[in-house]
Amino acid sequence: MSTKPLSPIRKAWYQWKALRLPWRKRFFVGLDLQNNSFWEFRDAINAGRMRRIVQTPSSIQYSDVRISPQWHQWLRHTREDAPSIEELVGDIARQERLKILARKADERWNAKASFLDQPAARQQALPATQVRDGGAYTGTDPRGGGKGVANAVASEAQEVEKERVVTMETSASGEIQYDAATQPREEKKNKDDPWKKARGGPSEEWQPQAWDPNEMPAARR
């Protein structure tokens, strides 16, 4: 709202400036609730379009200037007619009513019991560690002797794991012997290496002769 009412002389001066006389280039349009004055003047580039500006009182800092949405629309040529004082006062009253209604709605909402505070009537679900059924298919497998598919797969995995376990047998001499299934990988690799089988030729043991400085080659003639 306006902090300082206009004097009668100021009002008369605004009424005089609002008259659109032919020789005038600038016309007064109206005031808002903060005593900001709005003006129109002819555009030198576009004669068919009036330029619109706002002037703030000199006693108000620029950071404290507040322009209502209605006057913003008028400044940007969104609306043709300038807003009146009655329209601005009615908009302020509407905002106050909205605040009151919003506060009452919040009070009604807070007065209601919250569903989060009530204990659950139904039985709580068991934790994951106490689930009896893992969700796997429980149908019977003919190969598993009537066992479930999950149980049959588990038993087969256990048998495969047992076959992979290294079985060591100690002979009378105390050396460790391996069966064919658990033979170390290095022995199998050396046994199946074709390049190692092909070795043993006459050039395998050949070594170059060491150099002797006393043995000089014969001079060429």
Tally Cβ neighbours within 10 Å of residue 28. 19
Tally Cβ neighbours within 10 Å of residue 61. 7
Residues of 184-215 as b/e, b for ≥16 C-beta within 10 angstroms? eeeeeeeeeeeeeeeeeeeeeeeeeeeeeeee
| Among candidate residues 46, 23, 39, the one with its CA nearest the CA of residue 71 | 39
Place of tokens 């609306």: 79
Q: Helical H runs in the chain?
A: 8-17, 69-75, 85-111, 149-164, 185-191, 194-197
Place of tokens 């999950």: 150
Q: Which residues contact 40 (CB under 8 A, 6 or more apart)?
A: 26, 27, 29, 50, 51, 52, 53
Token representation of residue 109: 């909402």
Tell me the C-alpha to C-alpha distance, in Å, between residue 218 and each of 123, 213, 214, 215, 221: 108, 13, 12, 9, 9
Q: What is the pLDDT of residue 169?
A: 46
Tally Cβ neighbours within 10 Å of residue 36. 19
Q: What is the pLDDT of residue 166?
A: 45
190/195 Cα distance (integer angstroms): 9
pLDDT in tens, the chain (221 residues): 555 777 888 889 888 988 988 888 889 999 999 889 999 998 878 777 889 999 998 888 888 889 999 999 999 999 999 999 999 999 999 999 999 999 999 999 988 887 777 665 555 555 666 555 555 555 554 554 544 555 555 666 676 566 655 444 444 445 555 555 555 555 556 666 677 666 666 677 788 888 888 877 666 76
Q: What residues does each domain of the chain span?
A: 8-86
- DSSP notation for 100-112: HHHHHHHHHHHHS
Q: What is the pLDDT of residue 173?
A: 47
